[in-house]
Chain A
């Protein structure tokens, strides 16, 4: 099983700031089958990124992502008030599919 570790647990930031979230895998995520989701309270996760770096339909350009192998990152360039949420990474390369523990981005 691929274990995904996200860091940090929580970030306190102001609107307009740039933030980078980290996701580290316990073994190589082959084919770069790594996704990022955003989740707001009371809602299911929303797919932001697939294939490690491709934005899903409708995702704003301020979201970018990259990485390969075991180290991946998600960057939000200029936080919008609607971006304050919890972010999860997920690998869909190997069964069982697994998620990271999440990073909460909160308003400072």
Chain B
């Protein structure tokens, strides 16, 4: 059974960088079958997909236009986790942040597994 455990700060100052990690158990982050995403949820934006990383002979990333340019998603094979870095945080980035797993092609699926979510508040 796949389990995803999130960690990171609950409060971030404006203009600072948010760093979150999602530690995976039950599967390798470098598996060819999974794509690892970050999704956030706020009253103003609803559920918003931020980006994903996946491995198939090499690592690839795909970012949402809404955050492209200030987002970085990376995988750490040694620690079996993937991470989110979001730069230049503003109060509009206040949200619950989730990590989530989907299946890659050819047996593509939506998000079957989710982390527990972390409420991140941007405030001075």
Question: Which A residues contact B (CB, under 8 angstroms)?
Answer: 1, 33, 35, 37, 43-45, 47, 50, 56, 88, 90, 92, 95-102
Contact = CB atoms under 8 A, between A and B. Distances in A.
A56 B117 contact: no
Given A45-B111, A101-B46, 6 more contacts: A45-B47, A95-B62, A96-B49, A97-B49, A99-B46, A102-B46
A92 to B, nearest CB: 5
B110 A92 contact: yes
A98 B49 contact: yes
Interface of B: 37, 46-49, 62, 64-66, 98, 100, 102, 108-112, 114-117
19 contacts: A35-B111, A43-B117, A45-B47, A45-B111, A47-B110, A50-B109, A56-B112, A90-B47, A90-B110, A92-B102, A92-B108, A92-B109, A96-B64, A96-B66, A97-B49, A97-B64, A99-B48, A100-B46, A102-B47
